């Protein structure tokens, strides 16, 4: 497939995703979405296990930031490429605060602060791959607008809830649309290091499954740990895969990366 065909395919899928969401019926959030099975307190912390498991996001977020700002010249093909990753891991770190705040007393107002940093992570990962595999100029032009669109999707959802007609469509586009485009980029623009991202996507899919089986897992495990608590830990593992990918990339000798960057698709970052 030519570069033009790949670009056109990516753009078409993005447009169809947005158009499909716009034409779809309103998607309301189920009332039971913010009701979690494990409501045990620990050391005075309500819903303790769902709250404290968010520490995993803080740990992997800070590790990711540390890896992103190492001075190894081999980590990124261009200095700007580190910034989407920095935004991603900063968003993950903030998720630990937002999700903890939400789980202390779950309601829709607090859910806003859980979802906002999540949109930062989804958007930043997409932009990171755009910069490395598609076109750096496009990535630089879209980072801030996409971050604003992610935030707007959360505020729109909350506003619609206050109007009595909650609508998750924009937020779902940001979350699942971004991840779908990430997967498509991996297919259309193959390059080294994809295994870590694929592992991260797989772990996140598993985390969503654990979230959906919150009560069933809690019962199956004799009320020791719930599906939602495990969801936090596995989702943090997904982020750890991304940090590990950057760490592994930094071990590639600089002279090899320089030679390989001249071969389209051999290493990310050779475009734009």
Q: Which pLDDT score, from 0 to 100, does residue 263 have?
A: 34
Structure confidence at residue 264 (pLDDT): 40
The per-residue pLDDT for 261 is: 39
* Domain spans of the chain, in order of start: 27-252
Which pLDDT does position 74 carry in this prediction? 72
Q: Which residue from 51, 66, 50 is spatially nearest to 240, judged by alpha carbons? A: 66
Place of tokens 């395919």: 9
Tens of pLDDT, residues 199-239: 999 999 999 999 999 999 999 999 999 999 999 999 999 99
Residue ranges of the chain whose pLDDT lies below 50: 253-272
d(CA 190, CA 90): 27
Cβ pair 269, 132 in contact under 8 A: yes
User: Dihedral of CA 16/119/57/133: which sign?
Assistant: positive
* Per-residue pLDDT, 265: 41
* pLDDT, position 271: 42
Q: Please choose, from the candidates 66, 150, 55, the residue with its C-alpha nearest in 3D space to the C-alpha of residue 103.
A: 55
Query: How many residues does the structure list for the chain?
Result: 272
Enter the CATH code of domain 27-252. 1.20.1070
Q: What is the reported pLDDT for 3?
A: 92
Q: How many CB atoms lie within 10 A of CB 44?
A: 6
């Amino acid at each position: 497939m030519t570069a033009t065909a790949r670009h056109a395919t990516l753009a078409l899928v993005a447009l169809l995703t947005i158009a499909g969401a716009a034409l779809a019926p309103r998607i309301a959030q189920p009332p039971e979405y913010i009701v979690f099975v494990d409501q045990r307190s620990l050391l005075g912390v309500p819903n303790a296990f769902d709250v404290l498991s968010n520490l995993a996001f803080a740990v992997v977020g800070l590790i990711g930031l540390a890896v992103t700002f190492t001075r190894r010249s081999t980590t990124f093909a261009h200095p700007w490429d580190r910034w989407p990753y920095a935004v991603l891991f900063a968003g993950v770190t903030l998720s630990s605060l937002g999700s903890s705040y939400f789980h202390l007393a779950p309601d829709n107002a607090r859910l806003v602060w859980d979802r906002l940093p999540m949109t930062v992570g989804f958007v930043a990962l997409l932009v990171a791959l755009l910069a490395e595999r598609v076109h750096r100029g496009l990535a630089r032009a879209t980072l801030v607008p996409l971050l604003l669109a992610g935030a707007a999707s959360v505020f729109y959802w909350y506003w619609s809830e206050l109007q009595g007609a909650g609508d998750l469509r924009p937020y779902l586009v940001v979350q699942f649309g971004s991840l779908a485009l990430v997967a498509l980029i991996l297919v259309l623009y193959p390059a080294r290091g994809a295994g870590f991202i694929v592992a991260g996507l797989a772990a996140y899919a598993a985390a969503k499954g654990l979230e959906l089986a919150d009560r069933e897992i809690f019962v199956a495990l004799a009320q020791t740990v719930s599906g939602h608590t495990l969801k936090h830990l596995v989702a943090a593992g997904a982020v750890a895969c991304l940090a590990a990918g950057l760490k592994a990339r930094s071990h590639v000798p600089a002279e090899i990366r320089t030679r390989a960057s001249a071969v389209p698709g051999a290493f990310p970052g050779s475009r734009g």
